[in-house]
Amino acid sequence: MVNGLDRAQIKQSSKQKHMLWLFAALPAALFVVITYWYHPSGVSWHLAWVPSLGIDLSFRLSGLSYLFAAMITGVGVMVQLYAIAYLKGYPDRGLFHTYLTLFMLAMLGVVVSDNILLLFIFWELTTLTSYLLIGFNHDKSQSRTNALQSLMVTGAGGLALLAGLILLGEAAGSYQLSVIIDNQQGIAQNSSYTVSMILVLIGAFTKSAQFPFHFWLPNAMAAPTPVSAYLHSSTMVKAGVFLLALLSPIYAQSDVWFYTLITVGGFTAFGVHCWPSSRQT
């Protein structure tokens, strides 16, 4: 009987391990599909969703979005494979890989969205899924506290981003990103131009852990190592970088934009390591 139970447990464990390989196969398949679809001139797909609010399921695979999408899926494959070995013996391994996959899909949504309100929806989904991943070891109070901290900081930044994107869309007369970029000269003359720019910067800085919002990132390292490898080194903090690059054609003509990025980025790169709150205790 004991031998029979042992064989059944081994068989079940082997089956579960084979199921986990599917989590690595998905980003690999997405990488292949995205690379196959990509064209230098861009690929678009559009479907009306909530026309009354100006929210459409509008996606575009451009050079910039392909670069980030390839990074998200490519690194995603390696992290999923690493997590299979790293989390051996962990309870709820399948749930962890599910959270990681949901985060990956949310990040893909951010980089391929061609509607700024749709981009914001995926932006907030990355916040929620990262909260679940950072607090995955929820039996530890430190993990719960650090997960809540990251949620509060990036969530508050998300609200600032939403306000900035709404002002930007109203100034352009459309929430379609391609339309907004084509109308960049008219937007620059709008009275809400500077305000929307500052709000967008706050949203990007909180997500990418720039000074003075840097403190949540080292604390989030309380998460299992695959989370740190994926969210904080390769993807989530890059969402802020992606947003700044995406909206640069609209705001780059402003000196405020240029000098703010230079100052904040430079201080974060060279000065934050001296700041006490950036060190883990």
- Quick: pLDDT tens for 235-265: 778 888 999 999 999 998 889 999 999 999 8
How many Cβ atoms from other residues are within 10 Å of residue 35's Cβ?
Answer: 13
Compare 13 and 103 and report the one with higher pLDDT: 103
Instruction: Determine the pLDDT at residue 11.
Output: 44
Q: What is the mean pLDDT of residues 49-53?
A: 76
Instruction: Determine the pLDDT at residue 29.
Output: 96
Question: pTM for the complete prediction?
Answer: 0.86
Question: What is the separation of C-alpha 25 from the centre of its chain, rounded to a whole number of angstroms?
Answer: 20
Tell me whether the omega of the peptide bond preceding residue 218 falls within 30 degrees of 0, making it cis: no
Measured CA distances, 173 to 56, 181, 188 (Å): 15, 12, 13
Is the pLDDT at 280 greater than 50? The verdict is: no
- pLDDT above 90 coverage of the chain, percent: 47
CA distance 171 to 36: 36
